[in-house]
Structure 1
Amino acid sequence: MTDSGSQPSDGTARWSRLTDKQRACLDLLLERQTSKQIARRLDISKQAVDLRITTARNILGAANRDEAAIIYARLRQTYDRISCDPIIVSPNPGLVPSRVPDGSLPEAMHESASPTEGPRVSNPPFGDFWRPDHTRIRRVWLMATMLVALALLILTGLAIAQALTRLISG
């Protein structure tokens, strides 16, 4: 190898000389795949895989497949970085409707506002019934009301079942 000052440019030259097809074979070589397994995964012949790996070995200056994989792994860590993944980049922030303390929308947030503000959030089916900021007493009343409604539903079901049983038995 040469001195460390010229090595990065040598690595850049090596990396840029590798084709995408050679890199695909080397990626699978890093996974300890055989030529036959690589050929199956890439849907090419075994001879094509061997040719690509041999050419990549010559470009990388490696003596064998294992050394080529080691050199390629080091180069890939340095040169195969994604500078910006578009999935992670957040979209431009827009105005989000929010409620003011009295429960109404601010003047700028009414339906007459421009349609470029973003998607509107629809109201839930029961309005403010499931709000998380209810007081403790209101939560108790809500739970008691739901329990009474459930009990009435069960009793109604039992009454219907009893009436059907009497009707069927004669």
Structure 2
Amino acid sequence: MTDSGSQPSEDEVRWARLTDKQRACLDLVLDHQTSKQIARRLGISKQAVDLRLKTARDTLGVANRAETAIIYARLKQTYDRIPCDPIILAPRPALMSFDSSNGGLPGAIHGCGSPTGEPTGSNPPFGDFWRHDHARVKRVWIMAALLVGFALLILTGLSIAQALTRLVSG
């Protein structure tokens, strides 16, 4: 619309008379596509593309394809705008797939990698040690190793305490 708001400009009328199909073809003309390439991309015949471009040329009042592209680019820059800017929101996080093979919890909770179960490049400190789907024998061995380690830790602490007691008492 013009500043007075009463009469639309000639360019605005020409823009409004272009159909969505003509605009789709003209957008690809702006990308330097041939009629054959446009036809393949839009899934229509080359003749349909040429007809749409000829009708758009007549609507815009120009003589050739290059001039059509120039006028259309200028009109598009002026009239093909969103009336108000949308609020830009952060993208939503991707949902994780549920995999019951690891104890019923999603893989990222255990540090096992991506939601698809593939490693992401960062391994947890003990690798597969803390997985919940170990066989019973393996779990027994893990518990035995932990008990032995805990016992050695306690014995070491007691021997250090005894050595310090002897040192202090003289």
What TM-score bracket applies, with the shorter chain setting the length?
A: 0.3 to 0.5
- Structure-1-length-normalised TM-score: 0.47
Larger CA Rg, structure 1 vs 2: 2
